[in-house]
Chain A
Amino acid sequence: MNEKLFTRPASLLDVPTHYCPGCHHGIIHRLVAEVIDELGVRNTAIGIAPVGCSVLAYDYFNFDMFGAAHGRAPAVATGVKRVHPDALVFTYQGDGDLAAIGCGEIVHAAARGENISTIFINNAIYGMTGGQMAPTTLLSQITNTTPRGRKSESAGNPIRMSEMLATLDGANYIARVSVHDAIHMANAKKCIRKAFDMQIQGKGFSMVEILATCPTNWGLSPLQAVEWLKSNLIPYYPLGVIKTSQEVE
C-alpha cells in the first residue's frame, strides 16, 4: 500500500485559478492554505481579499472570506477581528492595494497593533489594470504609466513598506520573503506560519511581504521574470525578518 505524501490542503479548493502562467499568486495561496491547515485553524480562519489580481482569492480558499474595497482590507479586517477575536483574520493585498490607495489603512492597522496578519504581495507593478506604475515600482522600471522608466523627479521613489511599518510600535512581526525557488518558498512558509502564530498568541500586527513575479506585465517569460526578481527586486527590497518582538523569538 502506497502512502500519500503530497496532497491538496483542505484550505484550498480544487478549482483552476485565473492567474497568468508564471504568476506567483498560486504558490502563495498554497503556502497560506498549508499553514492554516497545519495550525488547525481552518474553522476560524477569515480572509480579506483585495482589489487587484487576487480579487477572486475567495474562490480558491476554502474558508470564510470577504471581498474588500481597494485598499480597505485592513479596516475591514479590523471590524471582523473585533467581532471575532478568536478568529484567524488575515488580509491578502498587492502593492497597489496596500502601498497606494490603502496606505492609510495599513499604517493605522499596524499602529493600533491590530491583532491581524497581512500577506503583502509585492511585484512592483499593477497587475489587474494591466501594468501601470505601483508605489513599489523600481526607478527606471518601465511600466505603462512610466513608459520611459520611473524617474524620481516626476514619479517619486519606491516605498519600502516593510521598513516603514517596522517603525511603528504596534507592528510586532514583519518579514520580507520571496517565492522564486523551493528554498525561498520554504522560508516564506515559515514566516507566514510565524505571522499567523503570533496572531494566535495575541501579539498584535504581523505582516509578511512576499516578492513575486508578474511575467505578463513585466513583459518577460516566467523564467526571465524569476531572474529579474532576483537581480532587481531583491537588491532594493532585501529579504529577511525586518522586525520581531522579543516574545516571539
Chain B
Amino acid sequence: MQEKVLMKGNEAIGEAAIASGCRYYFGYPITPQTELAEYMAKRMAEVDGVFIQAESEIAAINMVYGAAGAGARTMTSSSSPGISLKQEGISYIAGAELPCVLVNIVRGGPGLGSIQPSQSDYFQATKGGGHGDYRNIVIAPNSVQELVDYTVLAFDLADQYRNPVLLLGDGALGQMMEPAVLPDKSEIFHAKPWAACGLRGRDKPNIINSLYLDPGQLEQHNIRLQQKYQTISASEVRYEEYLTGDADLIIVAYGITSRIARSAIEKARDSGYRVGMLRPITLWPFPTHVINQLASRVKSFLTLELSAGQMVEDVRLAVNGLKPVRFYGRMGGMIPTTQEIYEQILNSFNHEEGLSDE
C-alpha cells in the first residue's frame, strides 16, 4: 500500500506531471492556480527540468507549442482570463496536432470576474474555445487524488492522440488539501517520429504547422481531425454512476459540484427519495450515450453547475426530449450548500410529473 501525502490540489497536479515525465512547464501567475506555477519553479530545478515564467499567457502557450513540437512532454496552467489569452495558441496546437496538457483552474467570470471557484468556462473548454473546428479532450476531476490520477492520464491521452488535453478544475479543487497517493514514474513512452528536433540524419524535414492554403487539402486535414475526434468519442468517455440503479431522479454534476451533490443525495436517500448521480469525468467526449440510456428508465434529470447553465445543454441533447431536465446553478464564485441542493431535489420531486417520493 502506497503512502498517502497531504497535498494542495494545485501542487498535486505539478507532482503528477513530473511523475508523468513532464520536464517543460511554461506559465504565468494568476489566482487561483498560482501555486502550481510556484511548485513547478521549485521542483523543475530539482528534476533537471525547465520552468519559465513567460511574459504573458500568449507567450507561455507558444512555448508549449515549441516544446511539444520538438517532441517533449510539456504543460501550462492558468485560470479563466488567462486561458482566454491562450486560446490562440491552443487552436494552433490543435491544428498542428501537438500533444500537451493544459490546466484551467476556473474562477468566476466573465471578464476579470472573481478569484472564487466557478464552472463557467464549460462552453470554452468543451466547444473549442479558439477558432476553427477542433476539440480538446477535457477531463474534470473532483478530488485531489483525481487531479493526480487524471494528470497522468492526460499526458498519455495527449501523446496517444496527438491532441491537447485540458484538465478542468475549479478554484476550490486547486486550493483544497486532501490526502492522495502519488503515481509511480511513468513507464509509457510514445515515439514521436513527427517531431521537429533537427534532422539528425533523417532525410526529410519534419514541419510543425497548421497552414493549408489549398482548400481541398485543408478540408482533408479537417476530415482527418474529425475522424480522430470520433475515435476519441468512441474510446475515451469516462464517467461515474452513483446510486443510479433504482433512481427516479438523476443529478448530473461534475467537479466540485458533484461532491456537494453527493452529500445532498445521501440526505435525500435517508428521506426516501430515489436519487442518483451521473458524474461526467470527461466533459469532452461527453457521456451522451449513458445519459440517453438512463433517460429511457428514469423519470427526470437535474443538472447542477457553478454557472448559468452550460453543461445542461449537453445533458438536454443527450436526453433528447425523453424526460424533463431541470437546472440549478450558482454564479460568480458562489457555491451551493448541501441543504440548497437537497431542496432542489425536493423541488424536482414536487414539481415534475411522474416523480414522487416513496
- A61 surroundings in chain B (CB, below 8 A): 205
- Given A62-B205, A69-B89, A75-B70 contact (CB < 8 Å): no
**CA of A63 to CA of B67 in the docked complex: distance in angstroms?**
17
Contact check, B209 vs A72: say whether CB atoms are below 8 A apart.
Answer: no
**CA of A223 to CA of B195 in the docked complex: distance in angstroms?**
42
For the complex, is B56 an interface residue (Cβ under 8 Å from A)?
yes
- List the A residue with the shortest CB-CB distance to B74: A79
Contact check, B92 vs A46: say whether CB atoms are below 8 A apart.
Answer: no
For the complex, is A58 an interface residue (Cβ under 8 Å from B)?
yes
Q: Nearest chain A CB to B159's CB is how many angstroms away?
A: 15
- Given A75-B59, A83-B24, A108-B59, A67-B208 contact (CB < 8 Å): yes
Q: Nearest chain B CB to A170's CB is how many angstroms away?
A: 12
**CA of A80 to CA of B98 in the docked complex: distance in angstroms?**
13
- Stretch from A37-45, A117-125, A232-240 that touches the partner: A37-45
For the complex, is B201 an interface residue (Cβ under 8 Å from A)?
yes
For the complex, is B62 an interface residue (Cβ under 8 Å from A)?
yes
Chain A count of residues within 8 A CB distance of the other chain: 37
**CA of A107 to CA of B199 in the docked complex: distance in angstroms?**
29
Contact check, B199 vs A82: say whether CB atoms are below 8 A apart.
Answer: no
Contact check, B198 vs A87: say whether CB atoms are below 8 A apart.
Answer: yes
- B60 surroundings in chain A (CB, below 8 A): 75
Most chain B CB atoms below 10 A, which of A48, A61, A88 = A48
Contact check, B205 vs A72: say whether CB atoms are below 8 A apart.
Answer: no
For the complex, is B301 an interface residue (Cβ under 8 Å from A)?
no
For the complex, is B196 an interface residue (Cβ under 8 Å from A)?
yes
For the complex, is B322 an interface residue (Cβ under 8 Å from A)?
no
Q: Tell me the B175-191 residues at the A interface (CB within 8 Å).
A: none
Contact check, A58 vs B200: say whether CB atoms are below 8 A apart.
Answer: no
**CA of A112 to CA of B26 in the docked complex: distance in angstroms?**
14
* A interface with B by C-beta (< 8 Å): 42-46, 48-49, 55-56, 58, 61-69, 72, 75-84, 87-88, 104-105, 107-108, 112
The 10 listed contacts between A and B (C-beta, < 8 Å) are A64-B205, A67-B207, A78-B66, A79-B24, A79-B26, A79-B64, A80-B67, A80-B69, A107-B55, A108-B54
**Besides A56-B211, A64-B198, A69-B92, 19 other A-B contacts (C-beta < 8 A):** A43-B199, A44-B199, A44-B200, A58-B205, A58-B209, A63-B198, A64-B206, A65-B208, A67-B208, A67-B209, A76-B65, A79-B26, A79-B63, A79-B68, A79-B74, A83-B66, A83-B70, A105-B58, A108-B54
